[in-house]
Structure 1
Amino acid sequence: MSQDHSQDHSQDAGAALAEGRGRSAGARSSDQAPSLRPSLLDPLFAPARGLPGIGPKMAPMIERLLGTPERPARIIDLLFHLPQGGVARRLMGSISEAPPGEPVTVGVTVTGYRAPQAGPGKRPYRVLVEDPTGDITLVFFGMPAPRVEKMLPLGSHRYVTGRIDLWDGHRQMVHPSRIVDEAGFAALPAVEPVYGATEGLTSRAISKLAHAALDRLPVLPEWQDPAWLRQNGLPAFAEALRAEHKPDGPPPPVATDGTVPATPARRRLAYDELLASQLALALTRARSRRGPGRQNAGDGGLLGRIEAALPFALTGAQTRALGEIRADLGSDRRMLRLLQGDVGSGKTAVALLAMASAVEAGRQAALMAPTEILARQHHDRLTAMAGPLRLRLLTGRDRAAERRATLSDLAEGQVDIVVGTHALFQESVAFRDLGLAVVDEQHRFGVHQRLALGAKGQAVDILVMTATPIPRTLALTFFGDMDVSVLDEKPAGRRPIATRLVSTDRLDEVVAGLGRALQAGEQVYWICPLVAESEYVDLAAAEDRFADLQAEFGAVVGLIHGKMPGPEKDAAMERFAAGDTRILVATTVVEVGVDVAQATIMVIEHAERFGLAQLHQLRGRVGRGAKASTCLLLYRGPLGQVARARLEMMRETEDGFRIAEEDLRLRGEGEVLGTRQSGLAAFRLARLESDGDLLEVARDDARLVVERDPALRSERGRALRVLLYLFERDAAIRLLGAG
């Protein structure tokens, strides 16, 4: 069962495009503001339930497959619900020649019935069929016997399509996708597309609805460059949709990893979606930089003194990134830059020196972190390195008097750098002259929060940091409106982390090993995927594991998870940092940024349930001191192919960028960075793991368009406006309207 819900696209995460998209995307109703979408597209955004053949019984199924809680399924959702493959009409020569595991069509004679045997559970109805070379069993669950026997009368000749599998040594086909007689076979299309379906709604029913949706497709202007289309052999938009939903040739084979082949039609549609995304980002980038900037770099004296006082020398990557940031700060254009670096690559030091540059120019700086733990940690680490800079912490839990004093000092210019959580962009927070805003872990904030912080001053430069190494294609997608600086070196002295795979069957050995580590003075993280045991998911629970380990080791075991009140989390973290607790049982709340140099062992329970990027982030919590460190990946077997590949990759390398690329290949862009969980959705038509090369082309094309036609008023510009509406980038259109 596949549910290809059309959701808001995360590709605009680097732009203020989320706002209002749902309102303009849905079908119009009396309580909705009218959309500015051109009437040309109205047929495509009409409710799908208006198509012929969708009655009261089918309508809820269509909504379950293609609708969302915010809006009903629409014609465009059907058209963008592309087939996952196809079945050619041509016959396999015989049953004996039909390859197991692949969709085939065979001509057979019905020879017998086997009614379900009495017993618990659902028992199938079986039909025996044969041809001169052998026999197979057709298996039907939950289908009344009279209906099965009407489709397959005893002694009749039928053509059946489906996948032949081996079960208990016998060939069988479960729920054939089609059963036709001679006349029906002659009338079949050359290729029948296969769609992701939902319970009660068959692939063939979806195909009929998609054909009806194609009849509603209006004539649209061509928004792509005709010469580029010819050069790459790509069809027109409407032709590409028809080729997918009404294929006239045998389908290309699906890749071993299940990837649908990138036909010219799929490439065309993928490029349309990528261009819409990149054009929206380019418009936002142009808008954000339209206003004049201010120079945020002084003579370098203060910056040099702080750098000279650091207890370490900057790496080449840090020096390069700082140079790029300083060049932006010294220009008269507003900076919008992403600083991405692997675990322990030194982003905090670069951020400090960037903020010192703004202070040197007579302005203020702010650093916003996603959690109070990280905000406090940033404040403590920056204070230790900041020299003469005046730092202050501002969070949502400050005492009233303390908060009033901080706000007053900020407004009067008595604070150079303020570090805080989302409390920083509240209306009551005013700066004397904010020049640089640093946002840590951007993907954990909404875009409007970043923009709100940037609006706290005049021509504020923005530096966004992420400790999650991002493949280049995802960097263009999620942060495409930004310039990018990469920290791809680790500071000298960082020791490698020994990573081992251990079955949960050996849990007792692991616990015994922790006892020896505690006697040697080491500290341990133990990560669990759940807070409390669930009756539905049999995974280790943090509270239960805490109780088990506390029973074994006593009061040296601590607990921290996201559901604890803030003060309790801070206290638990402080006890661990001070060494009062030696084993910290935690959920992924410690994933990013938490820094305890004395911790040398990381145990990740049910590691097979985590993504590669998350495993890499968790492992990066150890290996921060002088001692050798170990990461134990506890897994419950047997492992699937993808899970085993993830864990083997963790054992092979600590290169976060290589790990991120592999994560993208294994899981697709919708899972990397936890975007499924954060509400950011994947593309509907494009697949970055196979269409990543098109993303670069789309970015260059979008930037050229905005340079030459920033208001999209040319003939192609007007067609591109249609493209933006088609892929629901309405907010980009509003930017055009706002001048």
Structure 2
Amino acid sequence: MNNKTNYEYLLSDLSSLKGVGTKTKNLLKKKNINNLFDLLWKLPKSYTDRSLSSKIKELKIGEIQTVTIIPQKYNFPRIRKLPNRVLCSDETGEIDCIFFNSYEGYIKKILPLGKEITVSGKIGHFKNKYQITNPKYVSEDSSLIKQTHNKYSLTEGISEKIYNKILNQIINNLPVFNEWHSKSILSKFKNISWNSSIKELHKPENIGNYKSNFYQRLAFDEIFSTFLVNSEIRKKIRKIKKKNKVINFNKQNSIIDKLNFSLTDDQQKSLNEINKDLSSPNKMFRLLQGDVGSGKTIVSLLAAINTINSGFQVAFMAPTEILARQHFTLAKKLFPKNINIALISGKSEYKVKKEILQRLENNKIDIIFGTHAIFQKKVIFKKLGLIIIDEQHKFGVNQRKKLSDKGGSNCDVLLMTATPIPRTLTMTIYGDMDISIIREKPKNRKPIKTYSKLEVKIEDVLKFIKKEINLGNQIFWVCPLIEESKKLDHSSAVKKYEYLESKFPNQVCLLHGKTEVDEKNEILNNFLNNKFKILVSTTIIEVGIDFPNANTIIIENANKFGLSQLHQLRGRVGRGDKDSTCILMFKSNLSENAKKRIKILKDTNDGFLISEEDMKLRGFGDILGFKQSGVKNFKLADPIHNSDLFILAEKEMRRIENSNEDIGKFKPLIKLYDRADIINDIA
């Protein structure tokens, strides 16, 4: 490497390394190792100590040991299946080096007769003589072998020896960067540099040393690079000038007065924040995050009507057609008759779709509801002023960035999610956005009572259901997702449907992963219209859909789910003003961990508190909906164990933003952590 301050060395192709050909490169890619930098984060899981040399008479059978010997005699049998053998010795005894599938020339090269050679491998014993079979570590230079060798989780086809050789090349050529952190930040990690931290990370004696300065410093770099990118995106979006909306509060309040409930303080606060953004000359890029049933939809519809009254169009996207239709129906009920409202559906006829698209383009539609199809290229708006996206947790940073560009400079963006997540995750996943949070539930919402029940007590549950049906209520019965197998999932739901149908004839309907979209919508609509009393379903029942008449949910094999998912499923009921119940069923006595989860669910209906506890119990990668979030791609940082580093990074980011500090010095950090596609113009 010519320029040791050049981060591009670490981002170069694997084939730039000695000993890495096409085969090895492809094997490493299977482990998601695409460049030199990626290799640095495959940490050693243990090590083999080959540093101590033994005499032959001291060797221990079954252990990996290092011995210096002199080859005395070759034995190359003519029968191909028999191994090649080299008799070796030292002053204390004899040992055979055994080779299967190795050529005579190779053996003579590595074990020349009469020369002192150091060999390391697992010691065996055969016919009263020590032996080493296929030794991988053989050299005249004992210093190359008498070392501690790291052991890694390897792809099949790459030996420990080759892997160490490849990695040592990178570590020996590590660039020395100019320090990008302030003295204040560096002092938190005892002033250790990035370069030294990487070297320490790969030393055998440091395996698992997560509290060390070098580990903490590298985890901080990872977190901070994400915060830097998010900050730059926020800055870029805020620089976009737009025509501000003029909020007509009289018209807004006339709709609020129509509601049969008062807005909570959190709803009002969030609405004020959104209105402030809408009426600002800067583009809005905001997330509205709320707990299950906290009333995000009404806030978003009020933002929509304020945008429409200011002379702009609104696009409202939902993840499913039935949820889009639910929002459409609510808007028709709330909005004045002069507001033109449309729904674009997969079931709409071509002629109807064509007419809707023409009306949109001619500004004859004020607000359109639909799924992701409303953002296709052929959908053209005359004067789009606000994009609202419901349940957007599958949108990563790049997708959000493209979305904010879609509507042009005059278009504000409001994303919504009903998935409460811990603060450290919010800072990381949504750091590119402004955030409004609704924690309170509407005053008319009664807390859902949660019970746990052994499966053998199913008769008690059936009696309870019968009583609820007689009172005119409806029930969700959720079957477990067993090892994420659609086949098993499907059969368990079908069996439960058949069982319940025998108990409650003509009152049960079934929904599972194999149900076609049209049939699924029909089933949900029938349930919504009270044609059935029990809906047996897998976990595909929609987030956000209101079934006001459903007040009971039974969740089978509840220990298969995390807290956050149980809370989300529980949120399918309690949408009306009735007393609601969630029954968690189990096959056998609960583990201590499962008991903790049940206690938390019984004690609180606060999704934010539940998500914090869930993360502590299960790890951040399992929090509902965030397996695809990108946080899972952190190499070292962990929102649970490194929460202090997240807070430190946030504080440092605010300092840099407030002082307008040039972030050019962070260019290597941003580029190394693979964020270059988002910020390409850093000086």
TM range (shorter): 0.7 to 0.9
Give the CA deviation at 1:221: 2.7
Q: Is the Cα–Cα contact under 8 Å of residues 433 and 458 in structure 1 kept in the other structure? A: no
Matches within 5 A, 1:625-636: 625-636=576-587
Which of 555, 569, 572 pairs up with 1:621? 572
Find the residue that maps to 2:369 and give its secondary structure.
Answer: strand
Deviations 1:623-651 (A, max 9, x none): 12232221122234465554443333223
Find the residue that maps to 1:499 and give its secondary structure.
Answer: strand
Which of 291, 294, 313 pairs up with 1:345? 294
1:494 counterpart residue number: 445
User: Take 2:355 and 2:445, find their aligned partners in 1: how far apart are those partners?
Assistant: 40
Letter of the structure 1 residue corresponding to residue 347 of structure 2: R
Which of 536, 559, 577 pairs up with 1:585? 536
1:673 counterpart residue number: 624
Q: Is the Cα–Cα contact under 8 Å of residues 392 and 415 in structure 1 kept in the other structure? A: yes
Find the residue that maps to 1:45 and give its secondary structure.
Answer: coil
**1:242 and 2:199 aligned:** yes
1:225 counterpart residue number: 182
Q: Is the Cα–Cα contact under 8 Å of residues 425 and 453 in structure 1 kept in the other structure? A: no
Give the CA deviation at 1:449: 6.7
1:94 counterpart residue number: none
Higher mean alpha-carbon deviation, 276-285 vs 200-209, is at 200-209
Give the CA deviation at 1:303: 0.5
1:724 counterpart residue number: 670
Q: TM-score under structure 1 normalisation?
A: 0.73
Give the CA deviation at 1:282: 1.5
* Residues 364, 61 of structure 1: alpha-carbon distance in 2 compared, 3 angstrom cutoff: closer
User: Take 2:358 and 2:46, find their aligned partners in 1: how far apart are those partners?
Assistant: 64
Deviations 1:265-298 (A, max 9, x none): 1111111111211111122222222221222232
Letter of the structure 1 residue corresponding to residue 355 of structure 2: A
Which of 508, 519, 523 pairs up with 1:568? 519
Deviations 1:46-83 (A, max 9, x none): 4557756778997776444x22xxxx543222211234
2:604 counterpart residue number: 653
**1:333 and 2:282 aligned:** yes
User: Take 2:602 and 2:157, find their aligned partners in 1: how far apart are those partners?
Assistant: 44
Give the CA deviation at 1:611: 2.4
Give the CA deviation at 1:309: 1.3
Which of 311, 314, 329 pairs up with 1:380? 329
User: Take 1:357 and 1:626, find their aligned partners in 2: how far apart are those partners?
Assistant: 29
Give the CA deviation at 1:111: 12
Deviations 1:107-163 (A, max 9, x none): 997799xxxxxxxxxxxxxxxxxxxxxxxxxxxxxxxxxx99834799999xxxxxx
User: Take 1:150 and 1:230, find their aligned partners in 2: how far apart are those partners?
Assistant: 48
Deviations 1:210-243 (A, max 9, x none): 4343123222232222342024424111111111
Unaligned runs of 5+ in 2: 53-57, 64-119, 131-141
1:301 counterpart residue number: 250
Find the residue that maps to 2:393 and give its secondary structure.
Answer: helix
Deviations 1:388-415 (A, max 9, x none): 4432212333222322332233233332
2:680 counterpart residue number: 734
Which of 412, 425, 434 pairs up with 2:362? 412
* Residues 455, 42 of structure 1: alpha-carbon distance in 2 compared, 3 angstrom cutoff: closer
Find the residue that maps to 1:373 and give its secondary structure.
Answer: helix
* Residues 203, 496 of structure 1: alpha-carbon distance in 2 compared, 3 angstrom cutoff: farther
Letter of the structure 2 residue corresponding to residue 437 of structure 1: I
1:44 counterpart residue number: 10
1:136 counterpart residue number: none
User: Take 1:473 and 1:210, find their aligned partners in 2: how far apart are those partners?
Assistant: 32
Matches within 5 A, 1:282-681: 282-388=231-337, 389-445=339-395, 447-448=398-399, 451-452=402-403, 455-507=406-458, 509-530=460-481, 541-637=492-588, 639=590, 642-676=593-627, 681=632
Higher mean alpha-carbon deviation, 55-64 vs 463-472, is at 55-64
Give the CA deviation at 1:615: 1.2
User: Take 2:409 and 2:499, find their aligned partners in 1: how far apart are those partners?
Assistant: 55
User: Take 1:501 and 1:187, find their aligned partners in 2: how far apart are those partners?
Assistant: 59
Q: Is the Cα–Cα contact under 8 Å of residues 455 and 587 in structure 2 kept in the other structure? A: yes
Higher mean alpha-carbon deviation, 411-420 vs 356-365, is at 411-420
Deviations 1:85-106 (A, max 9, x none): 7899999xxxxxxxxxxxxxxx
Q: Is the Cα–Cα contact under 8 Å of residues 444 and 678 in structure 1 kept in the other structure? A: yes
Q: Is the Cα–Cα contact under 8 Å of residues 337 and 485 in structure 1 kept in the other structure? A: yes
Unaligned runs of 5+ in 1: 1-36, 92-106, 113-146, 158-182, 255-259
**1:80 and 2:41 aligned:** yes
Q: Is the Cα–Cα contact under 8 Å of residues 79 and 210 in structure 1 kept in the other structure? A: yes
* Residues 74, 451 of structure 1: alpha-carbon distance in 2 compared, 3 angstrom cutoff: closer
2:113 counterpart residue number: none
* Residues 569, 111 of structure 1: alpha-carbon distance in 2 compared, 3 angstrom cutoff: closer
RMSD across aligned C-alpha pairs, in angstroms?
3.8
Q: Is the Cα–Cα contact under 8 Å of residues 370 and 444 in structure 1 kept in the other structure? A: no
User: Take 1:736 and 1:50, find their aligned partners in 2: how far apart are those partners?
Assistant: 27
**1:150 and 2:123 aligned:** yes
Give the CA deviation at 1:577: 0.8
User: Take 1:148 and 1:40, find their aligned partners in 2: how far apart are those partners?
Assistant: 39
Find the residue that maps to 2:669 and give its secondary structure.
Answer: helix
User: Take 2:401 and 2:673, find their aligned partners in 1: how far apart are those partners?
Assistant: 24
Give the CA deviation at 1:496: 1.6
* Residues 640, 563 of structure 1: alpha-carbon distance in 2 compared, 3 angstrom cutoff: same
Letter of the structure 1 residue corresponding to residue 38 of structure 2: D
Find the residue that maps to 1:588 and give its secondary structure.
Answer: coil
Find the residue that maps to 2:440 and give its secondary structure.
Answer: coil
1:134 counterpart residue number: none
User: Take 1:539 and 1:202, find their aligned partners in 2: how far apart are those partners?
Assistant: 43
* Residues 465, 108 of structure 1: alpha-carbon distance in 2 compared, 3 angstrom cutoff: farther
Q: TM-score under structure 2 normalisation?
A: 0.79
User: Take 2:347 and 2:636, find their aligned partners in 1: how far apart are those partners?
Assistant: 44
User: Take 1:511 and 1:152, find their aligned partners in 2: how far apart are those partners?
Assistant: 67
* Residues 445, 82 of structure 1: alpha-carbon distance in 2 compared, 3 angstrom cutoff: same
Higher mean alpha-carbon deviation, 670-679 vs 583-592, is at 670-679
Matches within 5 A, 1:100-119: none
Q: Is the Cα–Cα contact under 8 Å of residues 287 and 735 in structure 1 kept in the other structure? A: no
Letter of the structure 1 residue corresponding to residue 332 of structure 2: T
2:94 counterpart residue number: none
Q: Is the Cα–Cα contact under 8 Å of residues 62 and 124 in structure 2 kept in the other structure? A: no
Deviations 1:563-603 (A, max 9, x none): 43322111111110111011111222224101101111111
Deviations 1:703-726 (A, max 9, x none): 55567668x6xxxx4441111111
Find the residue that maps to 2:275 and give its secondary structure.
Answer: helix
Tell me which of the two structures has the higher relative contact order, counting C-alpha pairs closer than 8 angstroms and 6 or more residues apart: 1
2:637 counterpart residue number: 686
User: Take 2:277 and 2:484, find their aligned partners in 1: how far apart are those partners?
Assistant: 50
- Percent identity over the alignment is 35
Matches within 5 A, 1:160-175: none
User: Take 2:311 and 2:61, find their aligned partners in 1: how far apart are those partners?
Assistant: 88
